[in-house]
Structure 1
Amino acid sequence: MVISKSQQQKYTPDAKSTAEQISLAPPTDKNKNYLLNNNNYNEVNVNLNNIGDFYTGTKIFITGATGFVGKALVEKLLRSCIGIDAIYLLMRDKRGLCIEQRLKELLKNPVFDKIREKDPDVFQKVKAINGDVSLPNLSLSENDKNFLWENIDIVFHSAATVKFNEDLKNAVLLNTLGTKRVLELCQGMRNLKSFVHVSTAFSNSDKAHIKEHIYKPSFDINSIINCMDILPKDVVEMLSKKLLGKHPNTYTFTKALAEYIVLEYSSSIPAAVVRPSIITAAWKEPMPGWVDNMSGITGIFMECGRGTIKSIICNENYVMDIIPVDVVVNTIITACWHTVAYTSNSVRVYNCVSGGINPVTWRKFGDLTHKYVREYPSKYVQWYPGFEYRTNRFIHMIYAIMYHTIPAAILDVFLYCTRQKPIMLKISNKFYQALDAGKFFSTNEWNFDTHTLAALSVAVKNAEDGENFGMDINKGTTNFDWDPYVKNFMIGVRQYVLKDDMTSLPAAKTKLNRLYWFQKTFQVLTLYAIMKVATR
């Protein structure tokens, strides 16, 4: 489907004040209904002042649909944009499962429970396409490639490796070159209306003030890609430090490169970039607290709740810029609509963040975490929950050895003696590495511009069905509050990540009470032993 620029509301973001930028009028009555012409479809009347109607009759292509954001995106599209014709997910065979089996497993996820109860037949709209962003031409067959060229209207690209410690060669292959390959595919799509690239707010974390535009990298991207292809891994790792510069890791560096590639292709492809900060559990949709991965900050605070993490490198007075996954998904969906309904001369960038809108400090989030992991403990709690933020790395290391490494080693000895597989030290080291990788983000803070995001928010509120795609978390204009959000987050981790339903809560509270008195007894005995040694 193709919409001519004369049929669209014109809007070009610039460096004006927020008030000027967000004074957007919705599409006027004159151009309210649009005739979308497509040789392969019947003519469809689409109301561009209605976000759901914008998606009516569309065929959508999504990469990264098996990820945290990808699952939530597919669910929201199916539930709120009921006129969608079909959703095609780029998937590859993995762990002995073919793409059809993986699709079935994906749709069994609890995130789709609401849809399953209301209209399970809608899942027939979701289809898998065999492909891989890490391979040339996305490893698409000729038939699949031609089908996508002829039929796809909208592309959401969220596939990426989010490992901070990924080696540079793999990170460039997946995050940068993978994005280029998706854009090359998009260039052949006859009916493409909008392409949305899911990036990260920390793609330019080497800067203190991050504007909503794409920054030019210090090195030529094509040269970097060629180096990754030609040079052996060990040579690439030697060059890694120089290439990264002030970037903390390969993830932020390669996502910044990917953004610039989107900018290069935006002259021929209607594109937008959404930059979420640290993505956490759902605020409202599809259910409060839904979360399904234990990577990053979710895994860290899960272990804090289980009592296995006692020390975190962090400046507790800094803003902790986190954003609920449903807010991110609504931003992605509406940014796609915004690109068409309010056209721009340049690619729009949306800093999807909370820090400048409704900030929460690490200290406040930590206090709320302590409150709710003790109120809703899991049966998997290992030690009485309680952690502290520290900026002194030496003290942190001592605490890590005392409370992370030594207990894990003791448990491994017990497991070995009982003929079980000793895995606790391995798990402890994994989370310690996650803490170490994340310390850059917990000991720094950034000033994010949100003018374009504010413009989108106003446009969404002006849309006829804007209330279905809420992405405003300003406490002054919505009921968003961090206290109930963290409560639902901790319950969500318990329910969806640890697979521990609320029926175990009474027993978990009894266990927590025992651990509390065990900890007090241990502290008293330790203090007594220290005093005895000191008096001698």
Structure 2
Amino acid sequence: MSKDAFNSRSSGGVDSVTRFYDGATILVTGATGFVGKALVEKLLRSCPGIETIFLLIRTKKGMNPKERLRELLDNTVFDRVRDSGALNKVVAVAGDVMDSGLGLSDADKARLCATVNIVFHSAATVKFNEKLQDAVRLNTMGTQSVIELCKDMAKLHAVVHVSTAYSNANRTLVEEKVYPPPASPIGVIECTKHLSPDLVEHLGEAITAKEHPNTYTVTKAMAESIVAEEAENLPISIVRPSIVTGAWQEPFPGWVDNLSGITGIIMEIGRGTIRSIICNDRYLVDIIPVDIVVDTLIVAAWQTAHYRRNSVTVYNCTSGSLNPIHWHELGDLTLKHSLTTPSKYLQWYPGFSFTTNRTLHAAKDFICHMAPAFFVDLLLRIKGSKPIMLKLCKRFSMAAKTGEFFALHEWKFTCENQKSLGKFLTKEDRLIFKTDITQLDWDGYIYLYLLGIRKFVMKDTPETLPAALKKLNRLLWLHRIGKMFLMLLAYKVIKYR
């Protein structure tokens, strides 16, 4: 199908999401990220009529955009479409969201403006401790640059901006609307351009101290404000995922390709290296599988093109209001399935606790984390190997501290727009695009998630499971002996005081 046919057909309305994408030319930013990879794969597999998918890719670590594209397409996430020829539809466009005008050449800009029908903007820094200047350039100015490009697109039908449910972390109730930003986006952008780096960081501290936990949520809030103010004449919507986790079903059950956030925590709980976490376990942990996020993005673009409203439509892609799970439930399920799917990289028998008591956590952190890491490093030095455990331990402690805010607070996200997505779908589309999290069973999902971490992140094969189970049993007895020794030591200390 020709690109002109897409424009003619889509302007008249298409009741099928899959058919809507026939002949479409798509631009995706952030395609090398976790959500971006899954989005591109799903588009190729479930919307085979797509004409072209342009990926905005920057040069990184000495690799040019075409080389990075080849590396991206070698990822296992694309295994299901590898033999179909669909990967030939993916084209790298040299550019950088942090550069003026997205760093596009005149020729590439002209090509995108003449052909693109749908834009998915998912490029962002998700580092909680990012410097304000860098976070603004990527999350806020980058969004502004994407919108400016979209305004020049002659055949544009839909733009989907990927935000975060925590863009309004300063509110306990977050509705599906754009809220006033914590600071003027244009004012902050100008400050980052003209003030010294030190003054910009002081500005960041002032903004985050007032309302937000970090520069990530601040700059995502300002990006939403820019979308609402500068893209009011565009067919645009905002999708706000909460904490994005491994795949529920697609492209593979449990698929995940990074150790960010909760994935890293779950892995280390399973390896037995984490024994204490600062967290209020009575609170909800709002996690959402990556495939539900991706399907929401794809359906949101279709709905944006055909059910355009006067204001920006916001979708809170969250689980807490529809299929809630609490921190203590997540912890219990992680421990339960860690004992049936251990990895050969197991370090100690799994067991941990959540606590809001910082003194107790500090004591457990020293006894269970820092002290063992010190002795392991000592043994490594004796063997002539490089000590790494203390460094890893400190790195995890820093990561846990930056994410602490989200484990000690709870939010309620309304999701009427998110729920309504399924109502517009045909029976066939409902089988392909799953936007309804109420069908997910958390017990089965966490089991698949742990298997996914084992397979896709740790690269541990099923053949190692019998040996890992034996190792787990040995560590159980060592764990019991260790506990008995500590109890005896405590008894002796108390007795002879």
TM-score, scaled to structure 1:
0.89
- Alpha-carbon shift at residue 138 of structure 1 (Å): 1.0
- Alpha-carbon shift at residue 427 of structure 1 (Å): 1.3
Query: Could you tell me whether the CA contact under 8 Å between 1:49 and 1:341 is conserved in 2?
Result: no
> How many residue pairs end up in the alignment?
494
Q: Tell me what 1:337 maps to.
A: 302
Q: Tell me what 1:215 maps to.
A: 179
Give percent identity, aligned residues only. 49
Does residue 296 (structure 1) correspond to residue 256 (structure 2)? The answer is: no
| One of 68, 74, 78 as aligned partner of 2:34 | 68
2-structure distance, mates of 1:202, 1:347: 18
Query: Could you tell me whether the CA contact under 8 Å between 1:61 and 1:155 is conserved in 2?
Result: yes
2-structure distance, mates of 1:229, 1:489: 42
1-structure distance, mates of 2:175, 2:424: 20
Does residue 105 (structure 1) correspond to residue 74 (structure 2)? The answer is: no
2-structure distance, mates of 1:74, 1:457: 21
Q: 1:233 to 1:185 in 2, by over 3 A?
A: same
- Alpha-carbon shift at residue 419 of structure 1 (Å): 2.6
What RMSD in Å do the two structures reach over aligned CA positions? 1.7
Residues 241-256 of structure 1 aligned to structure 2 (within 5 Å): 241-244=205-208, 245-256=210-221
- Alpha-carbon shift at residue 528 of structure 1 (Å): 1.6
SS at match of 1:316: coil
1-structure distance, mates of 2:19, 2:230: 27
Q: Where do 5+ consecutive residues of structure 1 fail to align?
A: 2-35
- Alpha-carbon shift at residue 241 of structure 1 (Å): 2.4
Q: Tell me what 1:423 maps to.
A: 388
Q: Tell me what 2:236 maps to.
A: 271
| One of 467, 474, 483 as aligned partner of 1:507 | 467
SS at match of 2:314: strand
SS at match of 1:196: strand
1-structure distance, mates of 2:491, 2:182: 58
TM-score, scaled to structure 2:
0.96
| One of 128, 146, 149 as aligned partner of 1:182 | 146
2-structure distance, mates of 1:82, 1:395: 55
- Alpha-carbon shift at residue 396 of structure 1 (Å): 0.7
Q: What amino acid is the match of 2:356?
A: T
Per-residue CA shift, 1:73-109, capped at 9, x if unaligned? 0000000000000101011111222212211111111
Query: Could you tell me whether the CA contact under 8 Å between 1:157 and 1:198 is conserved in 2?
Result: yes
Q: What amino acid is the match of 1:509?
A: L
Query: Could you tell me whether the CA contact under 8 Å between 1:279 and 1:325 is conserved in 2?
Result: yes
SS at match of 1:83: coil
- Alpha-carbon shift at residue 113 of structure 1 (Å): 1.4
Q: 1:96 to 1:532 in 2, by over 3 A?
A: same
Q: What amino acid is the match of 2:389?
A: M
Q: Where do 5+ consecutive residues of structure 2 fail to align?
A: none
Does residue 86 (structure 1) correspond to residue 23 (structure 2)? The answer is: no
Q: What amino acid is the match of 1:441?
A: F
Query: Could you tell me whether the CA contact under 8 Å between 1:266 and 1:346 is conserved in 2?
Result: no
Query: Could you tell me whether the CA contact under 8 Å between 1:197 and 1:271 is conserved in 2?
Result: yes
Does residue 526 (structure 1) correspond to residue 490 (structure 2)? The answer is: no
Q: What amino acid is the match of 2:304?
A: T
Does residue 141 (structure 1) correspond to residue 102 (structure 2)? The answer is: no
Residues 127-526 of structure 1 aligned to structure 2 (within 5 Å): 127-244=91-208, 245-460=210-425, 462=426, 464-474=428-438, 478=439, 480-526=440-486
Query: Could you tell me whether the CA contact under 8 Å between 1:318 and 1:361 is conserved in 2?
Result: yes
Per-residue CA shift, 1:110-141, capped at 9, x if unaligned? 11111125x1x111000111111111111111
1-structure distance, mates of 2:322, 2:44: 29
Q: What amino acid is the match of 2:403?
A: G
- Alpha-carbon shift at residue 496 of structure 1 (Å): 0.6
- Alpha-carbon shift at residue 465 of structure 1 (Å): 2.4
2-structure distance, mates of 1:408, 1:108: 36
Per-residue CA shift, 1:190-233, capped at 9, x if unaligned? 11111100000010010011010001114221110111111122
1-structure distance, mates of 2:165, 2:3: 36
- Alpha-carbon shift at residue 171 of structure 1 (Å): 0.8
Query: Could you tell me whether the CA contact under 8 Å between 1:51 and 1:466 is conserved in 2?
Result: no
1-structure distance, mates of 2:168, 2:347: 38
2-structure distance, mates of 1:452, 1:220: 27
2-structure distance, mates of 1:466, 1:521: 53
Q: Tell me what 1:30 maps to.
A: none
| One of 8, 11, 16 as aligned partner of 1:50 | 16
2-structure distance, mates of 1:404, 1:502: 29
Query: Could you tell me whether the CA contact under 8 Å between 2:241 and 2:316 is conserved in 1?
Result: yes
- Alpha-carbon shift at residue 43 of structure 1 (Å): 5.5
1-structure distance, mates of 2:68, 2:220: 27
SS at match of 2:437: coil
Query: Could you tell me whether the CA contact under 8 Å between 2:7 and 2:155 is conserved in 1?
Result: no
Query: Could you tell me whether the CA contact under 8 Å between 2:184 and 2:222 is conserved in 1?
Result: no
Query: Could you tell me whether the CA contact under 8 Å between 1:51 and 1:463 is conserved in 2?
Result: no
Q: 1:41 to 1:75 in 2, by over 3 A?
A: closer
- Alpha-carbon shift at residue 267 of structure 1 (Å): 2.1
Q: Tell me what 1:29 maps to.
A: none
Per-residue CA shift, 1:321-377, capped at 9, x if unaligned? 100000000000000000012121111000000000010111111111000011100
